[in-house]
Amino acid sequence: MKIAQVTPLYEAVPPKLYGGTERVVAHLTDALVDLGHEVTLFASADARTRARLIPVRDQAIRLDPRPLKSDLAAHMTLLATVLDHAGEFDLIHFHTDMIHFPFFARHAGRTVTTLHGRLDLTDLAPVYARWSDFALVSISDDQRRPMPFANWQATVHHGMPAELYDFSPESRGYLAFLGRISPEKRPDRAIQIATALDRPLKIAAKVDAADTVYWETVIQPMIADNPLVEFVGEISDGQKSAFLGGAEALLFPIDWPEPFGLVMIEAMACGTPVVAFRCGSTPEIIADGLTGFLVDTMDEAIAAAGRAHRLDRAQIRAQFERRFSATAMARRYLDVYADMLARRPFAETLIESPAPTARLRPRLADTIAQRGLRPTPPAGLPEPAADLHFG
């Protein structure tokens, strides 16, 4: 199958430091290549990928030191470049929210869009109602709640390469917080939990410009006067195994409808249990009492963090490998792709035509045939020409 992956340009693929969407795209792309598919990645030139790369910017936006940048202009160039190559692919997989909808309105049936963010913003629903032809994938079932009417095809949980993280059979006795310093991530709760337990807490997080006031007025004072807390700052993928693997538990004390939360499965990959507030996607990711604990109050969170060391770290790693590997994620997306391609007009004619250029590639044809889906051309339309390009 020929697949295009289209990523935002804010971070490198994968990100050099903090970053979620681009990290998922990187791992999905490589996993699809490993499974034998022809994948093209549209991204900034600093991407590291096993796929064919079509660069559309010299470097990712956030760490670009040049002071004057236009993210809108960069993404318009991205979409125009994808449009120039659109005929080369069986399917185009977007990870750019909704910005591509007007550009690709005539090609909606050849696309799938994974939504990576929260969907309870005031202006979103009219957009997804207007461009309802675009097939959507959610990253958790909970993410869909603000827009149940949307054109959902599936929920596909994120996955990460198992080999990227080292399993740690024992912790080094501290609690960990990894992510972003922001009010909805609630690092203040993490500090309060660790303080109540008299346990060391390491915080590895970035501070966005938008969260500077929160950092300076709320979190920094809590850290400055607390000898239990160590602020590490942003860390790279290469540092995560040691940071997460050494933790007795990862604290995930969120206060918002988290669409997924990659850090939870990163911790699980290291064998580290997660103590998470029951909010957003967390009940879908954490197996309560097996890979961590789900809590509703601070008292519950303190108690859970205090007993997290009793959980079986080898079992936590096994759960990660079964549910959240990059290969598992890629296979779920291939099911979505096959279902979409099987529903296209003329699919049966293309499969059965004797002309090689008019047939689906064997891998895709087999998938459709195995599913028993046999769409037929609408009545009155001529048979497709032998050189018809599928899609």
CATH class entry, domain 2-155: alpha beta
In terms of DSSP H, where are the helices of the chain? 21-34, 71-84, 124-130, 187-197, 212-214, 220-224, 237-245, 262-269, 282-285, 298-307, 313-323, 326-342, 347-352, 362-371
pLDDT at 25: 96
- Does residue 17 have a pLDDT over 70? yes
Task: Write down how long the chain is.
Answer: 391
Equal CATH topology for 2-155 and 166-323: yes
SS3 category, 146: coil
37, 134, 250, 356 from 326: Cα distances, Å: 15, 25, 21, 33
Percentage of the chain lying above the pLDDT 70 cut = 88
* Boundaries of every domain in the chain: 2-155, 166-323
CATH number of 166-323: 3.40.50.2000
Mean pLDDT of 101-118: 96
- Does residue 350 have a pLDDT over 50? no
Q: 10 Å Cβ neighbour count for 209?
A: 6
Q: Per-residue confidence at 361, pLDDT binned at 50, 70, 90?
A: very low
